[in-house]
Amino acid sequence: MAVRVIKEKCKGCTKCVKNCPFSAITIENKIAEIGSSCTGCGVCVKNCPFGAIEKVEEKKAAVDLSSYKGVWVFAEQRGGKIMPVVIELLGEGKKLAKEVGSELCAVLCGKNVSGLADELFAYGADKVYIADNEELENYRTDAYSKVIFEAITKYRPEIVLLGATHIGRDLGPCLAVKCSTGLTADCTKLEIDPDDKKIKQTRPAFGGNLMATIVCPNNRPQMSTVRPGVMDKASYEKGRRGKLVKLDVEFRKGDIRTKVIDIVKKSGDIVSLTDADIIVAGGMGLGNQEGFKLLNRLADKLGGTIAASRACVDAGWIDHSYQVGQTGTTVKPKIYFACGISGAIQHLAGMQNSDYIVAINKNENAPIFEVADYGIVGDLYQVIPAILEELEV
């Protein structure tokens, strides 16, 4: 719905201006003017003493859904390296493309990144759209969203998938707004409805207490961001080829409103939970941050990495980059050790798809045991040293 001013009735009293919660109304020549920030909330309609503002129904042109074809994956790269989540999206995208009977495509942006197209072909892309320009060397919202939106407008993909990374979570909503379509964020499952071929997008809702399945019935493209570590990675086929399509890239003055002055990388250990085959995670059952030293010993012995629950991060015991869960990283290792972790639903959302889950907890009724493949009831400060001793044998 929208609102419009009946000029014959308007007295220019400014009451609508004062009551508009979005500052969308001005007075021009003693007549109210509705600005672009109007949301059609109707507050002005209720407060106009002269009945000079009314609600009107906006008629939108129907979208020709049949003109949209293809599954696109945003091939996020940093420093000339394809991010691991892209390989997961290509694996999932291949399944979706097969079910809807279309191509799997990747869209790649950057500077001097044409060599990455071969890697995308090897992981299953049938076509790679590439935008190579110096302005795209580092991610900036304005630059990337402009280039990809123009490509979407021209080639009309049916489905667009992005990783729920820092970049994907910024880029996805911007593209959705430009395309006048919806976006389902942080998806953990994607599937095609066998009846109408629409994509069903499933994500945690209400703090992870239930799963919501969302569809986009009337607009295209259908867009999703997908959590890293949730989907199976695509298989690599050396020498596989596809079609390379170069995108026209042109920026005018004012198109890009930001400038990268410097890039400062955080010093210290860099943790990559999504790539780890073995994770030893700790919760508040550790008692204090010194407990992570013990977990580190086990992780080092097994060739894995440590992780933590949100409570440990909130307590300041460990950096947020180690957090697993709904508000942290989603992981899918071969073995996940949950040490002193109770098993709150928010944490389970980030690790329950691990191949094997080993839970160590003093509380035999802890919810973590309900999802664990192996459970050890006991003090982790006794159990883990015993495991380390056995591994030394």
Structure tokens at 187: 């998806």
Q: Is 341 annotated as a binding residue?
A: yes
State yes or no: 39 annotated in a binding site. no
Main-chain phi, psi angles of 94, to 5 degrees: -60, -40
Distance (Å) of CA 100 to CA 66, 194, 367:
12, 9, 39
Q: Does 282 carry a binding-site annotation?
A: no
- 326 marked ligand binding residue: yes
Q: What secondary structure does DSSP assign to 286-335, as a single string?
A: G-STTHHHHHHHHHHHHT-EEEE-HHHHHTTSS-GGGBBSTTSB----SE
Is residue 264 within 8 Å of 201, Cβ to Cβ?
Answer: no
Residues whose CB is less than 8 angstroms from the CB of residue 204 and which lie 6 or more positions away in sequence, other chains included: 186, 188, 210, 211, 212, 326, 349
356: helix, strand or coil: strand
CA distances from 345 to 126, 149, 215, 358 (A): 38, 37, 24, 17
Are 172 and 225 spatial neighbours (Cβ–Cβ below 8 Å)?
A: yes
Give CA separation, 221 vs 41, 161, 164, 181, 215, in Å: 27, 10, 17, 7, 11
Q: Extract the tokens encoding 169.
A: 């979570």
- 325 annotated to bind ligand: yes
End-to-end distance of the chain based on CA atoms, in angstroms?
73
Nearest to 32 by CA among 50, 46, 52: 52
How far is 313 from 296, CA to CA, in rounded Å? 16
CB within 8 A of 347, min separation 6: which ones? 283, 309, 310, 324, 325, 326, 341
222 is in an annotated binding site: no
Q: Is 343 annotated as a binding residue?
A: yes
Say if residue 344 carries a ligand binding annotation: yes
Q: Is 1 helix (H, G, I), strand (E, B) or coil?
A: coil
Continuous segment of H or E residues that includes residue 383: helix 380-392
Was 77 annotated as part of a binding site? no
Cβ 71 vs Cβ 97: under 8 Å:
yes
347 marked among binding-site residues: yes
Annotated binding site: 309-310, 323-327, 340-347, 361
Annotated binding site for FAD: 309-310, 323-327, 340-347, 361
